[in-house]
Structure 1
Amino acid sequence: MSLKERIRSVSLIFACGTALFSDGYANGVIGSVNTLLNRVYGIAALKSHNYSTILSSLGFAGTVVGMLLFGYLSDKVGRKFGMMSATVIVALFSGLSAASSGAHGSIGGLLSMLSAMRFLLGIGVGAEYPCGSVSASEQSEEPGISKRAQHRWFALATNTMIDFGFVIAAFVPLVLYWIFGNNHLRAVWRLSLGLGVIPAVAVFIWRLSMDEPIRYKKDSMKRARIPYLLIIRRYGVSLAAISFTWFLYDIIVYPFGLYSSIILDRITGGSKDLTVVFGWNVVINLFYMPGTLIGAFVLDYLGPKYTMITGLLLQAIIGFFMSGFYTQLSHHIAGFAVVYGIFLSFGEFGPGNCLGLLASKSSPTAVRGQFYGAAAAIGKVGAFVGTWMFPPIIDAFGGSETVRGNTGPFWIGSGLAVLSALITFCFIRPLTQDGMVKEDREFRAYLEAHGYDTSQMGLGEDSFDSDDVIVEDEKNAVVVSEDEKKQSV
C-alpha cells in the first residue's frame, strides 16, 4: 500500500475523532467565560439566579442525553449520520451560546438562554463519543493502518484532541483579552464561546466525503432486530466493569479541576489581573498533554488494559505523595503545581487514553455505539457526582482552611484510582490488534448458536465475506477470506 493511501487511512481516523476537540473546548472555555461573566455582571447577580448550579447541571444532562440517544442512532441509522448531526448541533449551539441575551437586556434572561444553549450544545458534544470515537476505533483497524499503531492513532485522534481542546480553550480567552482589554469583556466572553463554531464547521466539511466504516457495513444490525438479552448475557460484565471504571475516573478527574483554581489563587497571590489568571490557566491545562501523548505511544506495547492499570497506579502514588507531603509542598507552590500536573498527566496516560478504546473494542460492531454511549454516560454521571461530592468531603475533613481538609480529596481520589486498577485487572480483558474482526466473527457464531438469524446483519454493500480478516504487513494490505484460510491449512 502506497504512502498516500496510508496517510489517507490515518486521516480518516482523525476525521472521525478530531471533533472531540469541541468537547474539550466547550468544557474548558466555560470556566473562563464564567470568570468574565462575574466581572461583567457581578458575582451577586449570578448567584441570585443560581447560574453556576443550573449551568453545570444542564451541561452534564445534555451530554448524557447525547451519549445515550446517539449511541442508539449510531448503530441503527449510521455512524456518518451521527457524526454529521453532532457537528451541526455543536456548531449551531456554540453560535447561539455566544448570542445569548435576555428580553429588554435582562441578565436573568441572558443567563437562562446561555444555560439552555449549553444543554443543547451538550447533546452534540455527547453525540461525538458514540459516533466519532466509535468510528475512529473502526477506522483504526482498516487497511493502511500498521498493527503496531492501531491503538496509538485512536488515542491521538480522540483523547489527545479533547486535551488539546482544553489547552486552546484556556488560550483563546487570554488572546482575546489581550486584543480587547478590560473595557470590552462582553466581546471577550461572546467570542470565546462563538469561536467554538469554527472547529465544528471545519470537521463537518472534512467528514462530507466519508463513507461508513467497513466494519459497520459488514456487521451492523441497522436492518435487523437487536437481541438485547443475548447481548447482555455475553457482554454485561464487561460493560459493567468499563462503565464503573469510567465512573470512578470521572469522579477523580472532574472535581480535581476545582483544585486548579486554588493553585492559581496561591500562585498569583490572589491576583485579579485577568492576564495573570488566564495565563496560568493555560499552564495548568498544558499538563494534560504530556500524559496523553506519551500514553498514546505506550498503548500498542503494553496494551490498553495494562497501560490503564499503570496510569492509575502511578496516579495513586502521586496522589498519596501529595497528601503525605502537602504541608511541605504548600510552601513551594510552584513545586506543588508541578506535582499536581504530574497527577493529572498520569490520569490521561492511563484511563484518559484507554477507557474509550476499551469501550469501543470490547463490544461487537452491531451494538458498539450503544455500548460506548452507555459506558461514557455512566462516566459523565460520575463527573456530576464528583463535582457535588468533593466540597462536602473537604468540609467533613475540616474545611479548605485546614491541611486535613485539603488533603482529604487526594486520599480519596488516590484510593479510587487503586480500586479502578483492581477492577480493570479482574474484569476487563486485554485487547489485541485487529480484535474487532475476531470479536464480530465470534459474536455471529454466538448468535447463531442461540437460534438468531444473522443473515440480515450488515448493509450488503461489502465486496468480501463478513468473516474476512484483514492481514497487513509493512508493504501490503490484503484481504484473506475464510475459504482461503482453510485451503492454506
Structure 2
Amino acid sequence: MSKEVPVAGANDRSSSSDDAAIRRASLVDTEKGRWERMWPVIACGAGLFSDGYLNGVIGSVSTMLSNIYPTTYKNSPAQRNVGSLAFAGTVMGMLFFGWSSDAISRKWSLFVSTLIIILFAALGAGSYGAGGSTSGLFAALAAFRFLLGIGIGGEYPAGSVGCAESTGELKAGTRNRWFIMFTNVQIDFGFLVAAIVPMIVVLITTESHLRVAWRICLGLGVIPPLSLLYMRIKLQEPEAFQRESMVKAQTPWVLIIKYYWFRLLIVSTIWFIYDFSAYSFGIYSSTIIDNLLGENTALWKSFGWNTLITFFYMPGCIAGAFLADIPWLGPKKTLAIGVFLQAIVGFIMAGAYSKLKDPANIGGFVVVYGLFLAFGEAGPGDNIGLVASKTSATAIRGRYYGIAAAMGKVGAFVGSYVIPIVINNAPNDTRAGQDPFFVGSSLAVLAGVLVWFLPPIDQDTIEQEDVKFREYLSQNGYDTSQMGLKNMQSESSFDGQAVQAEKV
C-alpha cells in the first residue's frame, strides 16, 4: 500500500470526488475540436523522439569510432564517456527544468530545452579537436553530449507533464494511451530510427568513409526538435497548470515532503531499475551483436541485426499503450505484469545463453532478446512516466516528475558503466553473456514487487490528486487561494456544471 496522509473523513472524501468530477466536466465540455485538443499533446510529448534517437544512435556511432580509432578510442575512457555523459547532463536538465516548469512556465521551459537540443546536436556532429587532435575530438564530443543531455532532460518534466495535463481534455478511456503514444512510443520510435539510420548511412558511404558516416548520424538528430519549434511557440499553459500552479505562491516544502516522499521514493526506484536495464542494454546492443557475429562481419550487417532487435520495442510499447486504458488492468497492473514477464525471459535467456551465443543461432538470440526488450517497454517503459505524471499534484508535478526521471537516468548512467564491468569480469565468455541478464532480471523482479506500493491510477487521477492536495494543504493551514496563474473562480462557481460531470 502507498503511504497516504489521512483526510478528515467520509464527507471530505465525497466532497473530493464531487469536486474532481466538476473539474473534469469543465475540462472536457469545451467547444474545442479534436485537433485543438490533440495538438498540445503532440507538441508537448513528441520531442522525446529526440531522446530516443540521440541516445540510441550513440551506440552505433561508438562502434564506428572504435573501427576508425581502434587504439585511441576503443582502449580508452573515451568510449564510456561518449556513451554515458549525456545521461549526466540529462539528470541536470531534469532537475533544473523540473524546477523551472513549476516555478516559471511549462511552455517556456520546454521551448528553451528544445533550443539547447538543436544547438548541441549540431555541435556534436561537428566535433573537432584543435590541430586535428584525436583526444581533443573525443573531449569535444563528450562535452557536447553532456550539454545536449541538459536539453534532453528538459523534455521530461516540461514536456511530459504538459502532455499529461493536456490529455485531460481528451475522451475518457483514451487518455493513458495518447500520453504513452506521444512519450514512450516516441522514445522507442527514436531508438528504432537510430538503429536504421546508421545501417543505411554506412551502406551509402561504405566503411571507407566512416568519418563522414558518424557525423551524418549525429547531425540528423537536429531535424526532429527543429520540426517542433513552431508548435511549441504556439503552445499555451495547460489548464490544470493555470488553476493549480504555485508560481505566485509560497511553496510549502515541509507539507509537500510529508505528503509525497514515500510515493516519490517508490516511483524513483522503479524508474532507476527500468532505465538501468533499458538504456544500458540498448546502447550496447550493437556491440553485443558485433561480438556474436565476429570481427570479419560487415559493419552494416551488424547494424542490421541491431535494427531487428530494436524493432521489438515497437510492438511492446504500442501494446502497452492500449493495455493501460483497460479499466480492470490500467497502468499499475500493466507495469507489474511487464516487469515480471521481462524477468522470466531474462532468466531463460541467461540459462540458454551457451546455445544462443553461437553465431549460427543469431536469429534465436535476436528473438529472445527482442522479447526481453518488448516486455520491458509494455510494462515499465510505457507506464512509469504515466505513473510519475499522475501520482502528484499539478503544483509540484514538474519537480516530482523531474526527480523521478532523474533517478531513472542515474540508473541508465550506472548501468552503462556496470554492464561492461560485469561482462569484463566474467570468468568466461558464456558467463559474460549470462551475467548481465541475471542482474537485469533480478532487478525486474524487485521492480514488480515495488509496484504494489503505488496508489491506484485511473482516467481522472490528475483532477482527483489536485483536489486531495488542496484539501490537505487547507487542513494544515496553507492558504490555497493564492494558487493559480490567474484569478480563478471559487470551486462553488462550478456548481452549474455538476450535472455535466455525470457524462464524463
TM over 0.5: yes
The answer to whether the Cα contact below 8 Å between 2:202 and 2:213 also exists between their aligned partners in 1 is yes
In structure 1, C-alpha distance between the alignment counterparts of 2:214 and 2:425, rounded to whole Å: 36
Superposed CA RMSD in Å reads 2.3
Give the partner amino acid of 1:6: R
**Structure 1 residue runs without a partner (length 5+):** 469-480
In structure 2, C-alpha distance between the alignment counterparts of 1:354 and 1:293, rounded to whole Å: 12
| 1:474 corresponding residue in structure 2 | none
Equivalent of 1:256 in 281, 289, 305: 281
* Change beyond 3 A, Cα 1:448–1:432: same
In structure 1, C-alpha distance between the alignment counterparts of 2:324 and 2:441, rounded to whole Å: 22
Residues 1:354 and 2:367 aligned together = no
Q: For 1:58-117, what per-residue CA distance to the aligned partner results, in whole angstroms no more than 9, with x for missing partners?
A: 222101000000000000111001110111000011111111112222222221111111
In structure 1, C-alpha distance between the alignment counterparts of 2:466 and 2:280, rounded to whole Å: 38
| Deviation for aligned residue 1:443 | 0.8
Give the partner amino acid of 1:116: A
Equivalent of 2:109 in 77, 82, 85: 82
| 1:58 corresponding residue in structure 2 | 85
In structure 1, C-alpha distance between the alignment counterparts of 2:497 and 2:351, rounded to whole Å: 61
Residues 1:383 and 2:412 aligned together = yes
In structure 1, C-alpha distance between the alignment counterparts of 2:351 and 2:77, rounded to whole Å: 37
In structure 1, C-alpha distance between the alignment counterparts of 2:229 and 2:462, rounded to whole Å: 27
Equivalent of 1:364 in 385, 390, 393: 393
How is 1:23-422 mapped onto 2 (pairs within 5 angstroms)? 23-40=51-68, 42-47=69-74, 50-142=77-169, 145-257=170-282, 260-261=285-286, 263-265=288-290, 268-301=293-326, 302-331=329-358, 332-394=361-423, 398-399=427-428, 401-402=429-430, 404-422=431-449
In structure 2, C-alpha distance between the alignment counterparts of 1:105 and 1:488, rounded to whole Å: 67
* Change beyond 3 A, Cα 1:352–1:115: same
| 2:483 corresponding residue in structure 1 | 457
| Deviation for aligned residue 1:252 | 2.1
Tell me, what secondary structure is at the counterpart of 1:254?
helix
In structure 1, C-alpha distance between the alignment counterparts of 2:249 and 2:495, rounded to whole Å: 24
* Change beyond 3 A, Cα 1:293–1:371: same
The answer to whether the Cα contact below 8 Å between 2:57 and 2:191 also exists between their aligned partners in 1 is yes
Tell me, what secondary structure is at the counterpart of 2:72?
helix
Give the partner amino acid of 1:326: Y
| 1:471 corresponding residue in structure 2 | none
Tell me, what secondary structure is at the counterpart of 1:308?
helix
In structure 1, C-alpha distance between the alignment counterparts of 2:85 and 2:426, rounded to whole Å: 29
Residues 1:444 and 2:466 aligned together = no
Tell me, what secondary structure is at the counterpart of 2:251?
coil
Q: For 1:444-478, what per-residue CA distance to the aligned partner results, in whole angstroms no more than 9, with x for missing partners?
A: 1111111111111111166x65688xxxxxxxxxx
Tell me, what secondary structure is at the counterpart of 1:46?
coil
The answer to whether the Cα contact below 8 Å between 1:247 and 1:380 also exists between their aligned partners in 2 is yes
The answer to whether the Cα contact below 8 Å between 1:222 and 1:458 also exists between their aligned partners in 2 is yes
Give the partner amino acid of 2:196: F
In structure 2, C-alpha distance between the alignment counterparts of 1:150 and 1:465, rounded to whole Å: 27
Q: Percent identity?
A: 47
| Deviation for aligned residue 1:407 | 1.9
| Deviation for aligned residue 1:441 | 1.2
Ranked by relative contact order (alpha carbons within 8 Å, sequence separation 6 or more), the top structure is: 2
* Change beyond 3 A, Cα 1:411–1:488: closer
* Change beyond 3 A, Cα 1:14–1:415: same
* Change beyond 3 A, Cα 1:3–1:288: farther
| Deviation for aligned residue 1:483 | 5.8
| Deviation for aligned residue 1:48 | 6.5
**Structure 2 residue runs without a partner (length 5+):** 1-28
